[in-house]
Structure 1
Amino acid sequence: MTMLATRLGNQLTTRLGLRPTRRVVAPDVRRRRRVQLTWALLVLNVMTFFPGAPHLLPIPGSVGKLIAQGALVGALMMVLSVNRPVRVRPSVYIALLMTLAVEALLASIRAEFLLGALFRAGRLCGFALVLWLLTPWWTRRDLLLVRTHLMVLWAIVGSVVLGLIVAPGLAMTDDRLGGALWPIPPTQVGHYAAVAIGLTVVLWMSGLLRRSAALTSVLVCLPVLLLTHTRTALVATVAGVTIAGLSLFTARTRVRRAFLIGLAVFTLGALTLSSVVTTWLARGQDPDELGALTGRKAVWDAILAQPRSTFETLFGFGLSNKSFNGLPIDSNWLGTYYDVGLVGCAITVLLVVFVLTAAWFRPQGPHRALALFLVAYCVVASFTESGLSEASPYLLELTLAASLVYSTSTREGPR
């Protein structure tokens, strides 16, 4: 009514030759925008600035890291401005996440690199706190957080495409597409493009996204994913979309049609493009490199052979930068074991199992399908990527899945 009165008033003043009043933004719209900005700042926080990676903009490493880490402070201030008075929803997932953050803080007290470990543990605590303060918006029917996450992913992929157009040589370093404007490694670019494809396809299969928007998203994000040569992201997307599609198979005609078309395309591609697919998957590596998982196996064996006390076995060595002797760990489970021990691994498993179980028992529909895609993606990617035990895109997306399966008497959150 207020907006209608404002519009009629503006029309009347225009006819009388007067200057119309400025459009008034409804309070619920302002709150929604601040929630979206909070989520966007969380995504910026987990987009770690890599000063060593080639990038076009002359951003000093210290400034880039300050922007990324300061985004978490901005997200906390923004969510506190919209969540007044402070209200939170009880959640088993958030309770487990806060327990993991406290356990990481406890383990980091005895870390070799104390300041770095405590900083990462404190960051995880702040990250979990912001996610907790966002729980009142978990139950919205309009999927506000999912749509916001997808729009942010589109913006990231768009910046990567822009960097490829402006500086193709810089963006295609080592024949893998990375971020040229903001230094994003190819593996992260592949992750963002893959999740954008998966969310787009599941939303379209659920009838919540127009065909034109879905087609545009896939046609832009799929080449980006292929140019990154990120095998984990591709396999995780296929697995996640398949599981999500099966959950909608009996309810949606377009899902059954999409599965038939996908099966036909897969069969045709297997018969005609098998050599191209094999070359892409091999990524120029010989059988020995593939068998050693691109050097990951040597790092994993070294972590398991690392001498540790009973405390370090249970609680780990403290949060690290997910590297061991200067080499990336590239495994969520071994990275979690190294950082927060068996207790941290158990909590992480409980996080995944809780969301997966809650999604399994949800009624058939978009919420269940989206949650299953996100959980399946995180599980598949966790074998060669790390992030479920720290502030990362994977933990953010697992939380997004938890928000979709939150059980309450009403599905409508605050506006």
Structure 2
Amino acid sequence: MSPIAALSARLVPKPGFRPVPPERRRRRRVQLVWALLVMNVLTFFPDSRLLIPIPSALGRLIAQGSLPLALLLVLTVNRPLRVRPSVYMFLGSLLVTEAVISSLRAEFLVGALYRSTRLTLFVLVLWLLSPWWTRRDLLLVRTHLMMLWAIIGTVLAGVLISPGGAMVDDRLSGVLWPIPATQVGHYAAMATGLTAVLWMAGLLRREVAVLAVLVTVPILLLTHTRTALIALLVGGVIAGLSLFTARARARRLFAIAIGVFSAGALTIGSVVTTWLARGQDTEELGALTGRKVVWDGILAQPRSTFETLFGFGLSNKSFTGLPIDSNWFGTYFDVGVLGVAFCIAMVLFVFVGAWFTPQGPRRAIALFIVAYCVVASFTETGLSEASPYLLELTLAASLVYPRPSREGGA
């Protein structure tokens, strides 16, 4: 057999071979882009407790390099380049522009410009993912939930391998990848809420939902993250009420929850109070675990008119070496009054859009996410930077985008 004939024989598909359809390949690349965005917001920091020592340079390369990789990958799947017109993304672009302007006059210019560049690329990738917002299969929601389960899986593996290393000050954190307890609580709460809403909407099997919740809820409780728990409860109630009249599952879940709450209030009320107090006295709780001192300092800081409007440039969300721990104070410090206004407008747009979205899974999920983000924003930062909160708020915005009556898969 000649070399050409041999090569041709190799290129001929074997019996039973089924090529991957182009639509499936595009879907997989879109999922990979979203996974890279999630990886990017899993910021790396050196931690001596890691079970597998990861060099600082390698860890930062993995986390920070995932964003340009996501941009390159989304450019291969979004051809020709097209985006959906979106008020939400327009507001996000205004926030990016304002962040760049404020960072140009920042005291720590290099760090501020790096963070503003990262935010710019982050929002650009979100723009390029907008053609997949209206898919009937909720591709981005399911991908995000799978990533949350994967993150929680690493936390669970870490606590099973090294219980002592994973528990820091009686709070569960990640030891395979450095994930602070507050972030672990956030991911567990978001996974629990999305799983419950998808089950209530009839889009997730009961066995899968029960197994997921039995894993995520204990992890959330082990993190002792009060904000995530309260945000989960508020978001879950709002999402459940949106499905109450349409889904029998939602009504059954509410009945079970009321029964469990009533029994728990009588039997384990003191345990719940102790868990919420987290060993803190009344004075510490009144000062919001030291946050109030930082917030008062931000408000008292002298500012020029420019700094009042545009802030001091994107920072690491700390003030005099202490964490700000509030999206609104952090945004005001970084990007001023205009930045706060843009964040409020983005949240309100998603909430109003969800309110007028027809009853169903998309509305319920969007309401859960936006309610969760609003509650968490009081003691967590993220809506004005590349973070899980901005990623999830964009996910909610994608769900309330008007769906054309006739549209293809993407």
Partners of 1:35 and 1:228 lie apart in 2 by 32
Match for residue 298 of structure 1 among 293, 299, 308: 293
**Offset at 1:159?**
0.4
Counterpart of 1:128, as a letter, is V
Partners of 2:146 and 2:92 lie apart in 1 by 25
Partners of 1:149 and 1:398 lie apart in 2 by 12
1:263 and 2:258 matched: yes
- Indicate the residue corresponding to 1:343 in structure 2: 338
- Indicate the residue corresponding to 2:65 in structure 1: 70
- Indicate the residue corresponding to 1:85 in structure 2: 80
Partners of 2:404 and 2:18 lie apart in 1 by 36
Query: Contact 2:243–2:250 at 8 Å: present in 1 too?
Result: yes
Match for residue 235 of structure 1 among 219, 224, 230: 230
- The 3 A distance-change label for structure 1 pair 261 and 244 is same
1:192 and 2:190 matched: no
Counterpart of 1:153, as a letter, is L
**Offset at 1:58?**
1.1
Q: Which moved more, 1:46-55 or 1:404-413?
A: 404-413
**Offset at 1:21?**
5.4
Match for residue 136 of structure 1 among 112, 131, 134: 131
**Offset at 1:408?**
3.6
- Indicate the residue corresponding to 1:410 in structure 2: 405
Partners of 2:375 and 2:48 lie apart in 1 by 26
- Indicate the residue corresponding to 1:94 in structure 2: 89
- For the residue of structure 2 that corresponds to 1:386, the secondary structure is coil
Q: Which moved more, 1:298-307 or 1:62-71?
A: 62-71
Match for residue 388 of structure 2 among 370, 380, 393: 393
- Indicate the residue corresponding to 1:15 in structure 2: none
Counterpart of 2:289, as a letter, is T
- The 3 A distance-change label for structure 1 pair 330 and 411 is farther
- For the residue of structure 1 that corresponds to 2:172, the secondary structure is coil
**Offset at 1:377?**
0.1
Query: Contact 2:136–2:409 at 8 Å: present in 1 too?
Result: no
Counterpart of 1:264, as a letter, is G
Q: How many residues align?
A: 398
**Offset at 1:304?**
0.5
Per-residue CA distance 1:272-331 (angstroms, 9 max, x = gap)? 001110111011111111111111000000010111100000000000000001110000
Partners of 1:123 and 1:300 lie apart in 2 by 26
Partners of 1:100 and 1:318 lie apart in 2 by 12
- Indicate the residue corresponding to 1:57 in structure 2: 52
1:334 and 2:323 matched: no
- For the residue of structure 1 that corresponds to 2:82, the secondary structure is coil
- Indicate the residue corresponding to 2:41 in structure 1: 46
Partners of 2:202 and 2:97 lie apart in 1 by 41
Moved beyond 6 Å, runs of 4+ = none
**Offset at 1:54?**
2.7
- The 3 A distance-change label for structure 1 pair 148 and 413 is farther
- The 3 A distance-change label for structure 1 pair 374 and 331 is same
Query: Contact 1:248–1:365 at 8 Å: present in 2 too?
Result: yes
- The 3 A distance-change label for structure 1 pair 308 and 411 is farther
Q: CA RMSD in A?
A: 1.2
**Offset at 1:85?**
0.9
Query: Contact 1:197–1:217 at 8 Å: present in 2 too?
Result: yes
1:166 and 2:164 matched: no
Match for residue 100 of structure 2 among 92, 105, 124: 105
- The 3 A distance-change label for structure 1 pair 122 and 413 is farther
- Indicate the residue corresponding to 2:247 in structure 1: 252
**Offset at 1:22?**
4.0
- For the residue of structure 1 that corresponds to 2:239, the secondary structure is helix
Instruction: Structure 1: give runs of 5+ residues left out of the alignment.
Output: 1-17
**Offset at 1:23?**
3.4
Query: Contact 1:138–1:413 at 8 Å: present in 2 too?
Result: no
1:354-393 equivalences under 5 Å are 354-393=349-388
- For the residue of structure 2 that corresponds to 1:49, the secondary structure is coil
**Offset at 1:112?**
0.5
- Indicate the residue corresponding to 1:127 in structure 2: 122
Q: TM-score, normalized by length of structure 2?
A: 0.95
Partners of 2:18 and 2:192 lie apart in 1 by 36
